[in-house]
Structure formats: C-alpha cells, structure tokens
Amino acid sequence: MKDAERKMQFLFALRSKGVTDARVLSAMEKIDRGAFIKGLFEARTYEDMPLPITCGQTISQPSVVGIMTQALKVQPRDKVLEVGTGSGYQAAILSQLARRVYTVDRYSRLVRDAEAVFRKLDLTNITAITTDGSHGLPEQAPFDRIIVTAAAEDPPGPLLAQMKIGGIMVLPVGQEQAVQSLIKVVRHETGYDYEELRPVRFVPLLEGLGKE
C-alpha cells in the first residue's frame, strides 16, 4: 500500500473513533508516527493500537492520542506540560498546536531518544527533561494545558496547582488492574471541574526516577 493511501486510512480511522478537530487531525497528518517506532513494530505504525517501546513503556494508540489532544483544546499561544514523554509522539503532536511544550519522563533513555527524533524532525519548541513527573515542573509553572500519559489514582496535587486559571488538564485516573477513566479537569477561580471522557488503559504514574 502506498504511503499516501496508508495515511488516508490512518486519518479516516481517527475520524471514525471521534477525532474530529481539524487542527488536531492536521497535526497528526503532519507528524509521522513511524518516526517514533523502531524495530519489529515498524510495520504496524499506522494501526490503531498501542505498541511497546523501551523501558517497558508503550506508545499510545493514535486514536487515544487524538482524543486526549482534542480534549485539551490547545491554543496557539499556550504553554503545555506533558508528563510521560515515552516515545515523544504525543509531544510532537502538541508542538504543532502550542507555542511551547515541556515534556518530562522518569527514564533518561526515553528522553534522549525522543530528543533525537525532535531534532531530526526540526521540532524546536519542545523541551524534554528527565525528572519525576508526579511533581510537575514547578520552575516553568503555571501551564495553560497539562497532559498526563500515565494513570494516577487521583489527579496529582502538584499538577493541579501548576494549572493556570482557565487551564485544562487531561489525564487517566484509576488503578492499573482496574478500568481507568480519561478525565478532563478545568481550573476556575473557585476550584476545579471534572469531566469523565471515556474508559482507557495506561501504565501507572510512578514516583521517582526510573532505572534504565
């Protein structure tokens, strides 16, 4: 199958799963998921499924990346924090929509690998940092948008505190073995609004730095 045809099918699959935002679809068309997948699984780049990457992590299925990105409602002037760099695919999508993306991961190897892909794709508005993401990134706070790509039992307090008023955070909550929910949190002057979006499965959000 030709690349153009494969890409059309990929975008059609995203739309059929509920990814309808034109800016998000355009970003996902522009950023080739194949750049973030190496080895055995390259042939499955355009399938709507999660795939394993190093350090026991996964690259999320494209429709989930699309749904989470769409729910964030990223604006062109926004500063975004991503907790859980993983392959770097989600940060690359966000880089097309936001002014600045900070992405953090507990595994330095994942951060190094992602940075190499960002350089190759000339994505200059992403800063990748090895740190414990459960604490957020206080030195760059507050953020317009926060996205978490690992499941916590509750939205972590430090991340809630690092949201701007009017800011949005999208994250999975729940225990690893149980069904998790993708939720959207909006910060107001007086507190936070929570909305459940859909059931999901993510790796757990762990504290501390990962052993390579």
Which residues are part of the catalytic machinery? Answer: 60
31-68 burial: b if 16+ Cβ within 10 Å, else e = bbbbbbbeeeeeeebbebebbebebebbbbbbbbbbbb
Structure tokens of 170? 């999208």
Going by DSSP bridges, is the β-strand pair 143-148/163-173 parallel, antiparallel, or unpaired? parallel
The Cβ of residue 125 has, within 10 Å, a number of other Cβ atoms equal to 16
Cis status of the peptide bond prior to 142, with omega within 30 of 0: yes
Query: How many whole angstroms separate alpha carbon 20 and alpha carbon 83?
Result: 24
